Amino acid sequence: MSVGAFGFHWLDTAVVVAYFIGITAFGLWVARRARTSDAYFRGERKFGWWIMVGQSFGTGTHAEMPVAQAGATFHGGFSCIWYQWKNMLVTPFYWLTAPWYRRSERTTIGEIVEDRYGRTLGLIYSVFAIAYFILNQGVMLQGAGKVISAASGDAVSSNEVVVAMTGAFLLYSFFGGLVASAYTDFVQGLLIIVLSFLLIPLGLREVGGFAGLHAALPPDFFVLYSERSRLDAFTIAMLAINGLVGICAQPHTLTMCATGRSERAGRVGQTYGNMVKRVCTIGWALTGLIAAAMIARRGIALANPEDAFGYACKELLCPGLIGLMVACILAANMSTCSTFMVNTGAIFTRNFFKIYVRPEASDRELLLTGRISGVLLTLLGVLFALTVKSVLHGFLFTETIAAYMGIMVVGGFLWKRANRFGAATAILASFGTYYALNWRATGELMLIYKWQAAPFAWAMLAGTALLVVVSLLTPPESEARIGAFFDKMRRTSDVREGAARPLAGESGQELLLLDLPGWFDAARWRGFLRRHREDVLGFLLAWGVVALTIGLAWAVVRFNP
C-alpha cells in the first residue's frame, strides 16, 4: 500500500491550519509599520539585502513552477530544465539593470514609462500591468489546485484551500502592504526550499537510488541538452531573450530592485534571489525524473505530465508530510500573490486614481485606495484561474507579453533617441505579429497559445525594428524630458531621499547599460574600471555563480554509483 493511501490525515490538517494561523499572525504583526502610502507601496525603501533576497525569491517562485518543471522533465528528461532555466544565462544582467528602478525614484514602472515617453504610454503600460497581475495570479492558482488535489488524493477541495489562502494573504497584505509582504516572503521562501527538495530522498529510496533511476529511464533523460526535450540552441536563446527583456517590464520588478536601503541591496536581492530559484529548479527537475521512474517501474501511465508532481506527493508522503507539502505550495503562491496585490494597488492608485480621478488626494486617501483596489483587482485573478488549461503555457504566455512591452522599457534606457511613436509602434507590431503568426499556424484565435520560439522571435524582431525605424523618422522627445530622465540614471540614489545626489561615477557606480550609442564617445571610456567598478565586479561574480550552478546540475544528473 502506498503511503498516499492514508489520504489527508488529521496531522496534515493540523500542519496546514498552523501554517495559516502562523503566517497570518506574523503578517499582521509586521503590518504595524505600514502607516503611510510610501511604506505600503515601497516599504520606505528600507529593506536589508537579506529581505530583498527573500522577497525576490519568494515573489519570483510560484506553485505552478515545480508543477510545470516536474511535468516537463517527466515527459522529456532533465534537459527540459531550460524551460525554467531560460533566465539562467541572463541572471548576471540583473546586477546591471537593478539600479535603473531605484534611481528613477518612482513607485511604479508605469510612472517610469510616463517620465520617459509621456502620459499616454504610461497609461497603456499601466493597463498592461494590471492585466499581467490578473493573468499571473490565475496561472498560480491553477498550479496550486493541480498539486493540492493530487497530493491529498482529492480528500481536500482545492477550491476550499484557495479561498483560505486568498483570505489569509489579502488580510495581512491589506493592512501591511509591502512591509508585510516582504517579511512574509522571506519566511515563506524557506518553505519553498523545503518544497523543492522534500520529495527527493523519499523518491530515491522508492526507485532504488540514483542507480535505480538510471536503470528505469532512457540515457537521454540524464543530459543537460537533448533533442528529446525539443529545446534546441535557438529555442534556449529565445527563452533567454524572453526572460531578460520580459523581466525588465514585469510590473513588480521595481519592487524587487528599488525597495532596499541601498542600490547594492537591490542588486543582491534581484540577482541572488533569482539564483536561489535556479538551484531549487534542480530539485524540481530531479523530482520529475523520480516520478517518471516510479511510473516506469509500476507499468502505469499519467493522463497529463503536469500531474507528475502531485502523483509523487501522493505516493511518497506520509501523514504530516502531506500537510507540510500543501503548506509549502501555499507559501509559494501566497508570497507572490501578496506582492502582486500590493503592486496592483500601487499601479491603480498612482497611475489612474491620482492622475485622472483625484490629483489632490491626501496620503491617507492614496493608502486607502491602494488597499481597496488591490483586493478587488486580485479577486479577478481567481476568476481567470478557471480558464487556464496548461500551467506551463500559461506561465510562458505571461512572460512573453511582458517581453513585448519590454521592447519599449528596455529601449528607453538603452537608447536616448527612442520616442513615444516608436514605442507605441513596437507594442502594436510585436503583439500583432505574435497573434497573426499563431492564428495562421493553428487556425484558431485564442488568448493563450503554446509558446514557440519562431513566432516569438519574429514578434520581437518586428517590435524592435519598428522602435528604431519609427523613432528615427519621427520627432525626438523633448530635450528637457530626456535630460531629466538620464540625469537621474547617472546619479547614485544611495543618499537620504530629497538630498542632493552625486554623480554615480564618483563612487564607482556608473551604469554599463545606459545609452549604449554613447559608448562610441571616447569620453565614456576614460577611467572605465574606476567609474564602473560596481557593475564590472558584480557582473563577473554573478557569472561565476552561474557556472557553479550549472556544474552542480550536471554533477547531480550524471551521478550513477
Tell me, yes or no, whether 55 lies in a domain.
yes
Give Cβ neighbours of residue 217 (< 8 Å, ≥ 6 apart). 77, 289, 292, 293, 296
Tell me, yes or no, whether 446 lies in a domain.
no
Phi and psi at residue 47, in whole multiples of 5°?
-75, 140
DSSP letter, residue 492: -
Q: Which of 251, 190, 252, 169 is nearest to 54 (CA)?
A: 190
pLDDT, residue 5, reads: 39
What does the alpha-carbon distance between residue 131 and residue 224 come to, in Å, rounded to a whole number?
35
Number of domains in the chain: 1
Spatial contact of 74 and 288, defined as CB atoms under 8 Å apart: yes
Task: Give the model confidence (pLDDT) of 305-334 as tens digits.
Answer: 878 888 888 888 888 888 888 788 777 777
Extended strands (E) in 35-102: none
Specify the residue for cell string 522534500.
198
Spatial contact of 97 and 250, defined as CB atoms under 8 Å apart: no
3-state secondary structure of 44: helix
Q: What is the DSSP string of 204-220?
A: HHHHTHHHHHHHHS-GG
Extended strands (E) in 86-150: none
3-state secondary structure of 503: strand
Spatial contact of 252 and 343, defined as CB atoms under 8 Å apart: yes
Q: With a cut of 70, which residues of the chain have pLDDT below it?
A: 1-8, 138-139, 141-162, 228, 382-396
Give Cβ neighbours of residue 317 (< 8 Å, ≥ 6 apart). 3, 4, 151, 198, 199, 202, 325
Q: Which amino acid is at 454?
A: A
Tell me, yes or no, whether 262 lies in a domain.
yes
What grid cell was written down for 442? 493553428
Task: Give the model confidence (pLDDT) of 447-495 as tens digits.
Answer: 777 888 999 999 999 999 999 999 999 999 999 999 999 999 999 999 9
Torsion sign, CA atoms 69, 463, 100, 527: positive
What does the alpha-carbon distance between residue 247 and residue 252 come to, in Å, rounded to a whole number?
9
pLDDT, residue 120, reads: 96
What does the alpha-carbon distance between residue 68 and residue 395 come to, in Å, rounded to a whole number?
9
3-state secondary structure of 491: strand
Give Cβ neighbours of residue 339 (< 8 Å, ≥ 6 apart). 55, 58, 59, 178, 181, 182, 185, 252, 255
C-alpha 427: how far from chain center: 21
What does the alpha-carbon distance between residue 114 and residue 481 come to, in Å, rounded to a whole number?
10
What does the alpha-carbon distance between residue 71 and residue 76 come to, in Å, rounded to a whole number?
9
Continuous segment of H or E residues that includes residue 182:
helix 158-197
Q: What is the DSSP string of 386-429?
A: TT---HHHHHHHHHHHHHHHHHHHHHHHH-TT--HHHHHHHHHH
Tell me, yes or no, whether 136 lies in a domain.
yes
Spatial contact of 294 and 208, defined as CB atoms under 8 Å apart: no
What does the alpha-carbon distance between residue 190 and residue 53 come to, in Å, rounded to a whole number?
11
What does the alpha-carbon distance between residue 340 and residue 286 come to, in Å, rounded to a whole number?
29
What does the alpha-carbon distance between residue 220 and residue 227 come to, in Å, rounded to a whole number?
9
Tell me, yes or no, whether 525 lies in a domain.
no
Spatial contact of 258 and 101, defined as CB atoms under 8 Å apart: yes
Adjacent-strand bridge partners of 491: 503
Tell me, yes or no, whether 443 lies in a domain.
no
Question: Cβ–Cβ contacts within 10 Å for residue 191, how many?
Answer: 23
User: Taking the model in full, what pTM does it have?
Assistant: 0.91
Phi and psi at residue 84, in whole multiples of 5°?
-90, -30
CATH number for the domain spanning 306: value is 1.20.1730.10
Adjacent-strand bridge partners of 260: 47
Tell me, yes or no, whether 444 lies in a domain.
no
What does the alpha-carbon distance between residue 232 and residue 305 come to, in Å, rounded to a whole number?
21
Tell me, yes or no, whether 524 lies in a domain.
no
Identify the domain containing residue 256 by its residue range: 3-417+476-480+534-558
Helix, strand, coil percentages in the chain from 3-state DSSP, rounded to 5: 80, 0, 20
Q: What is the 3-state secondary structure (H, E, C) of 42-95?
A: HHHHCECHHHHHHHHHHHHCCCHHHHHHHHHHHHHCHHHHHHCHHHHHHHHHHH
